[in-house]
Amino acid sequence: METVSAPARLEAFAHRDGLLHCERVPVTDLVARWGTPLYVYSAGAIRERFAELDEALAPVPHMIAYSVKANGNLSVLRTLAAMGAGADIVSGGELHRAMLAGIPPERIVFSGVGKTIHELAAALQAGIYAFNVESEGELCALSDLACTMGMRAPVALRVNPGIDSPTPHAYTRTGHAATKFGIPAERARDLYCIAAKLPGIRVRGVDVHIGSQILSVEPYLRALEHVTDLALDLRREGIELEYVDLGGGLGISYEGGEGLSARDFAEQIVPRVQESGLRLLVEPGRYIVGAAGVLLTRVLYIKEGGGKRFVITDAGMNDLLRPSHYAGWHAVEPVVASGRARGQVDVVGPICETGDFLALDRDMEIPRPGELLAIHTVGAYGFSMSSQYNQRPRPAEVMVDGDTATLARRRETLDDLVAAETGI
Ligand SMILES: Cc1ncc(COP(=O)(O)O)c(C=O)c1O
């Protein structure tokens, strides 16, 4: 019997001859051109992850609405748009980006607990696929607005199924009862009945998002069961839904392992979606881009004291917030393997906050000032959560595709820091 082996995975970031490469480009070339701190993304890795999920879900009619908040760089969005991705947006700004990148409006869903009237109007005007409505107030405001615009707004209610999904940090749990997100399970049916009668609303689907960085399929199965039961109930009331949106949150490995696999996810989810007769939407962000990015930073100083060895770098919490905000863990390694002695270090940034660190108590080859470090798995919630805190211009972003590197966002300048102010 012929055995078909799975295609080899792209090694998006790997050391070759002791030097870290992104695809076929030595990252030192990128630093020589664009400096540090520098975000570097692999287009191949982004495509590969999208394709994996898309193929796994192929047996059921589906749409992957990439969650723009994870990484909204236009080059990332264009790469995904070319693969047929849709977008999950949470603001007018993300709508603007998604449309600029060529994501068709009929593939855009609008999530978020506090959409303004202006944002709702822009999305209605654009003709998006659906609004994920999170409260009765929003539902009524959207209906009124749609009526004044002579339209009907396509809607899914985001239902909160009361599932306390096991995410690594409380801030990324959104499916339990006491969260600001979604419509409480016990209110969902009534609100659908109200929605079905509102003149400016067209009920289209049901939406659920139970959290982020979820590593097992089981909470998704429970959420799916909850909303497909609801869809059945609604059918009996004469309210027919077209689709179920299972949200995002598919977890990845920050330590270099597998994370939640698209195949396992699909194997368990797809048959149940098929039974329901609904179309499936998913809103992954981190799953698609998380492992497709590194942050390159230069060591400024090494400092010892109080039993600690601090490696002080030119990237700080304003460039990468995850470690201090969510206790996010990222692998850190020298860009050029030195073979030098290892030791325990804290990798910290230059910001005037004790919470400004990138890695704590890490065993690594002890670097020297001037050397480069790579902080891994920062493609999601890296640049997109960055700020100019301490008046630090944000880093540049580079997209690598094979042996070609393209500047995806230039480094901000000191003038950019004051450009929007009137007191110049
Ligand atoms: C409604 C919604 N959808 C999708 C996502 C994407 O999550 P992830 O990047 O973990 O897939 C989020 C993340 O916060 C979200 O709030």
Cβ 247 under 6 angstroms from ligand 1: yes
pLDDT mean across residues, the chain: 95
Instruction: Please report the pLDDT score of residue 165 as a whole number.
Output: 65
Distance from Cα 170 to the centre of ligand 1, integer Å:
14
Instruction: Please report the pLDDT score of residue 3 as a whole number.
Output: 45
Q: How confident is the model at residue 175 (pLDDT cuts 50, 70, 90)?
A: low
Tell me the HSE value of 369 on the side-chain side, using a 13 A CA sphere: 5
For domain 13-41+290-418, the question of CATH label 3.40.190.10 is answered with no
Mutation to probe ligand 1, out of 69, 110, 286 (largest number of atoms < 8 A from CB): 69
Domain spans of the chain, in order of start: 13-41+290-418, 111-284
The pTM of the full predicted model, rounded to 2 decimals, is: 0.95
For domain 111-284, the question of CATH label 3.20.20.10 is answered with yes
Instruction: Please report the pLDDT score of residue 1 as a whole number.
Output: 41
Cβ 384 under 6 angstroms from ligand 1: no
Cβ 209 under 6 angstroms from ligand 1: yes
Q: Percent of the chain having pLDDT more than 90?
A: 90
Could you tell me which residue, 9 or 76, shows the higher pLDDT?
A: 76
- Distance, in Å, from the CA atom of 182 to the CA atom of 188, rounded to the nearest integer, reads 9
Contact call for residues 174 and 214 (beta carbons, < 8 A): no
Atom of ligand 1 nearest to the CA of 287: 11
Atom of ligand 1 nearest to the CA of 214: 10
Mutation to probe ligand 1, out of 169, 212, 286 (largest number of atoms < 8 A from CB): 212
- Residue 65, exposed/middle/buried by CB under 10 A (0-12, 13-18, 19+)? buried
- Whether the pLDDT of residue 184 is over 60: the answer is yes
Cβ 210 under 6 angstroms from ligand 1: no
pLDDT tens digit string along 124-144? 999 999 999 999 999 999 999
Contacts of 38 (CB under 8 A, 6+ apart): 30, 31, 295, 296, 395, 396, 397, 398
